[in-house]
Chains A and B, each alone.
Chain A
Amino acid sequence: GQQLNQSPQSMFIQEGEDVSMNCTSSSIFNTWLWYKQDPGEGPVLLIALYKAGELTSNGRLTAQFGITRKDSFLNISASIPSDVGIYFCAGRPGQNFVFGPGTRLSVLP
Chain B
Amino acid sequence: DSGVTQTPKHLITATGQRVTLRCSPRSGDLSVYWYQQSLDQGLQFLIQYYNGEERAKGNILERFSAQQFPDLHSELNLSSLELGDSALYFCASSVEGTNGELFFGEGSRLTVL
- A13-36 contact mask (Cβ, 8 Å, vs B): 1 or 0: 000000000000000001101010
**A88 partner residues in chain B, CB cutoff 8 A:** 42-43
Q: How far is the CA of A88 from the CA of B2 in the complex (A)?
A: 17
**CB of A97 closer than 8 Å to a CB of B:** yes
B94: nearest chain-A partner, CB-CB: A97
B55: nearest chain-A partner, CB-CB: A95
Verify B42–A102 contact, CB threshold 8 A. Answer: yes
**A43 partner residues in chain B, CB cutoff 8 A:** 43, 90, 104
- A38-54 contact mask (Cβ, 8 Å, vs B): 1 or 0: 00111111001010000
Verify B102–A95 contact, CB threshold 8 A. Answer: no
**A101 partner residues in chain B, CB cutoff 8 A:** 42
- New A-B contacts (19) at CB < 8 Å, excluding given A42-B104, A97-B45, A97-B94: A30-B98, A31-B98, A31-B100, A40-B88, A42-B105, A42-B107, A43-B104, A45-B103, A48-B101, A88-B42, A90-B102, A92-B100, A96-B45, A96-B56, A97-B33, A99-B42, A99-B43, A101-B42, A102-B42
Give the interface of A toward B (CB within 8 A): 30-31, 33, 35, 40-45, 48, 50, 88, 90, 92, 94-97, 99-102
Pick the 7 closest A-B CB pairs, nearest first. Answer: A42-B104, A101-B42, A30-B98, A42-B106, A99-B43, A43-B104, A48-B101
